[in-house]
Copies of this chain bind each other. A is one copy, B any other.
Amino acid sequence: MVKRVSLWDAGCPVARALDVIGDWWSLLIIRDAFDGVRRFNEFQTGLGIAKGMLATRLRDLTERGILETAPASDGSAYKEYVLTEKGRGLFLVIVALRQWGEDHLYGPDEPRSSLIAAETGAPVARLELHAGDGRVLTWDDTEVIKINPI
């Protein structure tokens, strides 16, 4: 991922997270990996991404510990890409993007995919941020304490 500047050294976990996965294609690859896509050709067909671009992204994501390679599940010679534990930790990032998209980017009757609980088939609940004591917090109930206040 080509960057003009790296914010890795920033004391902000958001900046550091984006330094690692803040690329449109990378997040779509991660989304597809959650949906069970495992092979180069499957990613390529699903995303319509150029092969070189996909190869670079898969390599970067593997080097960064988000994906790892595994032998093909059907015993063939294909290499497969699966999410590591660190990669699976991105699940709520994908869910938060999904719920915001559902809220703001679709017309009322426009068809879209939905995320359900596998066991019941019912839609998942909305994400909520809670305080330690259980109260629901909105953005203006919170504050960021920086390590280098200006």
- Whether B138 and A91, one on each chain, are in contact in the complex, defined by CB atoms closer than 8 angstroms, is yes
- Would you give 10 A-B contacts (Cβ < 8 Å), ordered by A? A13-B113, A14-B27, A18-B27, A18-B28, A35-B144, A65-B104, A112-B147, A115-B145, A116-B143, A123-B132
What 0/1 readout, one digit per residue, does chain A (127-150) give for beta carbons within 8 Å of chain B? 111111111011111111111000
On whether the beta carbons of A101 and B17 are closer than 8 Å, the reply is: yes
A13 touching B98, Cβ below 8 Å: yes
Residue pair B116, A145 in contact (C-beta under 8 Å): yes
Interface SS of A by simple majority: mixed
Stretch at the interface among A2-10, A55-63, A71-79: A2-10
Indicate which residue in B11, B89, B101 contacts A100 across the interface (CB closer than 8 Å): B89
Q: Report the bound CA distance from A90 to B139 in whole Å.
A: 9
Q: Are A97 and B4 in contact (CB under 8 A)?
A: no
Nearest residue (CB) in B for A103 is: B89
Tell me if A15 is interfacial: C-beta within 8 Å of chain B: yes
